[in-house]
C-alpha cells in the first residue's frame, strides 16, 4: 500500500524564544547545527517513506518560508496551507482528505516538524513496524516513547502490559508522584504525537467521533480539484472546531495500538534541550558559535553573529540572535514564555 508522510509544521512555540520568533518558529531553525528541524524530519523518514510522498501542513503565513526552507525537497503542491490554525484534528483531517481525493488511499504517518530523534535507524525500524500494523489492520497506530525519567511535561499512553500493543488509555500530564509510578510500572509510554493509519480509516473515525468536523472536511473535499478549492478552504477551514487529534479521536477510539520507541526522542520543548542535541565540553558546556570561556560550567551558549564570552558562570543559557540576547538560569528555561508574554504586554512586537 502507498505510504505518505504528513509533517505538521504549524507550531509557533514561544518557549524557544529568542531563537524562535513569530515569523521563524522552531521547525525552521537549525538547532542541531546540521539543518532546519523540518528538513531533518523529512530526511529521516526515508526510505520508509519516499520524499515525493511527504506533505507538510502549515499556516498560510508560513507556506512561503516552508517552501524556502525545504528548498526543493518537496514540490509546492505538497505544502498544504491552513488558512487558520485549528489544532491537530483539523490538520490531520485536511491532510487525509487531500490524500484520498488527489493521491489515493494509503498509510499516512503523522509527525511533528520540530522534534529531535537521535537514533534515526532505530526510529525507522519502529516506523516500519507501525506502517505494517496499520496496513494489516484498520487500527490507529501510535508510537509511544519509552520513558527514561518521570517526566511531568508529557502525556502518557497506558498499554495493557509491556508485551502488548493494545492501548488501555491516554492520560494527561501527571504530577511528579504519578509520573514516578508510571515510570516504575513499565506500562506507560510518552505520547510523542506520532501516528500511523490509513487515510480512509482516520476519516471514518472523524465521521464517527467528530461528525461536525467531518462535515467541514467533506465540504472541503468536494471542492478539491475544482476551481472553488482555495475559496472553499478559506471559507470553511476557519469554522472547524479547535480540538487536538489526541483528545478528539485517540482517547476515544477503540482500535488503538501503541508501539514502543526507544530511539532518543526529544520534543525540544525549551532551550535547555539544546544540551541534548550537542556534545558537551569537559566542563559540561554546550557552545554553538564563536565563544571564549573561563570557569564556565554546565552552560548552553548559542551565538549567531557575536562572540560570546562566559566568565565564572554556571547553569546558564545564553542565546544571542540578530536583535536579542537572552540570559536565563537553565532551570527556568520553561519560563521563557513568560518573557515573551511580558514583551507582548509591553507592546514590543518587534521582538516577538
Write out the binding residues for a copy of itself, residues 291-310 only, by CB under 8 A: 292, 294-295, 303, 305-310
CA dihedral 145, 149, 155, 156 (to 10 degrees): 60
| Contact call for residue 347 and a copy of itself (CB under 8 A) | no
Compute the distance between CA of residue 186 and CA of residue 206 in angstroms, rounded to an integer: 31
| Contact call for residue 76 and a copy of itself (CB under 8 A) | no
Write out the binding residues for a copy of itself, residues 326-345 only, by CB under 8 A: 326-329, 331-332, 335-336, 338-339, 342-343
Tell which one of 47, 323, 347, 349 touches a copy of itself (CB under 8 A). 323
If you ran DSSP here, which 8-state letter would residue 33 be given?
S
Are 253 and 140 within 8 A, CB to CB? yes
| Contact call for residue 230 and a copy of itself (CB under 8 A) | no
Of the two residues 163 and 323, which places its CB atom closer to a copy of itself in the complex? 323
Of the two residues 227 and 282, which places its CB atom closer to a copy of itself in the complex? 282
Compute the distance between CA of residue 96 and CA of residue 245 in angstroms, rounded to an integer: 13
Q: What is the 3-state secondary structure (H, E, C) of 55-93?
A: EEEEEHHHHHHHHHHHCCCCCHHHEEEECCCCHHHHHHH
All cell numbers assigned to 294 = 573561563
Cβ at position 276, least distance to a copy of itself in Å: 20
Tell which one of 282, 312, 347, 349 touches a copy of itself (CB under 8 A). 312
Cβ at position 344, least distance to a copy of itself in Å: 11
Of the chain, the end-to-end C-alpha distance in Å amounts to: 44
Cβ at position 348, least distance to a copy of itself in Å: 7
* x-marked contacts with a copy of itself along 273-292 as a string, rule CB under 8 A: -------------------x
Tell which one of 10, 18, 93, 106 touches a copy of itself (CB under 8 A). 18
Of the two residues 52 and 323, which places its CB atom closer to a copy of itself in the complex? 323
Are 96 and 198 within 8 A, CB to CB? no
Closest alpha carbon to 268 in 11, 77, 2: 11
Please list, in sequence order, all residues whose beta carbon lies within 8 angstroms of the beta carbon of residue 108, skipping any fewer than 6 positions away: 3, 4, 5, 6, 95, 96, 99, 196, 197, 198, 199, 202
| Contact call for residue 228 and a copy of itself (CB under 8 A) | no
Closest alpha carbon to 324 in 309, 303, 344: 303
Q: Interface with a copy of itself by CB under 8 A: which residues?
A: 18, 292, 294-295, 303, 305-313, 316, 318, 320-329, 331-332, 335-336, 338-339, 342-343, 346, 348, 351
Amino acid at each position: 500500500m502507498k505510504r505518505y508522510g504528513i509533517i505538521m509544521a504549524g507550531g509557533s512555540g514561544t518557549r524557544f524564544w529568542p531563537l524562535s520568533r513569530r515569523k521563524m518558529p522552531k521547525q525552521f531553525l537549525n538547532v542541531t547545527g546540521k539543518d532546519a528541524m523540518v528538513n531533518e524530519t523529512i530526511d529521516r523518514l526515508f526510505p520508509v517513506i519516499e520524499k515525493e510522498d511527504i506533505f507538510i501542513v502549515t499556516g498560510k503565513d508560513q507556506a512561503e518560508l516552508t517552501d524556502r526552507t525545504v528548498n526543493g525537497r518537496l514540490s509546492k503542491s505538497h505544502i498544504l496551507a491552513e488558512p487558520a490554525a485549528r489544532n491537530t484534528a483539523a490538520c490531520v483531517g485536511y491532510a487525509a482528505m487531500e490524500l484520498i481525493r488527489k493521491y489515493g488511499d494509503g498509510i499516512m504517518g503523522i509527525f511533528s516538524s520540530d522534534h529531535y530523534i537521535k537514533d534515526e535507524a532505530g526510529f525507522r525500524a519502529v516506523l516500519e513496524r507501525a506502517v505494517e500494523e496499520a496496513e494489516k489492520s484498520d487500527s490507529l497506530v501510535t508510537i509511544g516513547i519509552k520513558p527514561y525519567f518521570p517526566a511531568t511535561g508529557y502525556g502518557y499512553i497506558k498499554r495493557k502490559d509491556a508485551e502488548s500493543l493494545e492501548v488501555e488509555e491516554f492520560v494527561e500530564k501527571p504530577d511528579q508522584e504519578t509520573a514516578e509510578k508510571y515510570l516504575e510500572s513499565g506500562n506507560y509510554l510518552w505520547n510523542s504525537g506520532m501516528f500511523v493509519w490509513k487515510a480512509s480509516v482516520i476519516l471514518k473515525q472523524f465521521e464517527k467521533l467528530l461528525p461536525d468536523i467531518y462535515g467541514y472536511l467533506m465540504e472541503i473535499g468536494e471542492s478539491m480539484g475544482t476551481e472553488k478549492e482555495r475559496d472553499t478552504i478559506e471559507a470553511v477551514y476557519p469554522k472547524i472546531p479547535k480540538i487536538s487529534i489526541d483528545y478528539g479521536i485517540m482517547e476515544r477510539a477503540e482500535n488503538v495500538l501503541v508501539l514502543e520507541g526507544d530511539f532518543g526522542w526529544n520534543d525540544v520543548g525549551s532551550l535547555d534541550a539544546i544540551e541534548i542535541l550537542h556534545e558537551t565540553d569537559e566542563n559540561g558546556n554546550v557552545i554553538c558559535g564563536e565563544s571564549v570561556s573561563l570557569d564556565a560550567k554546565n552552560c548552553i551558549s548559542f551565538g549567531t553573529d557575536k562572540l560570546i564570552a562566559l566568565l565564572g558562570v554556571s547553569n546558564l543559557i545564553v542565546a544571542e540572535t540578530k536583535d536579542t540576547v537572552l540570559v536565563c538560569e537553565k532551570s527556568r528555561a520553561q519560563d521563557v514564555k513568560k518573557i515573551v508574554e511580558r514583551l507582548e504586554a509591553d507592546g514590543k512586537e518587534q521582538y516577538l
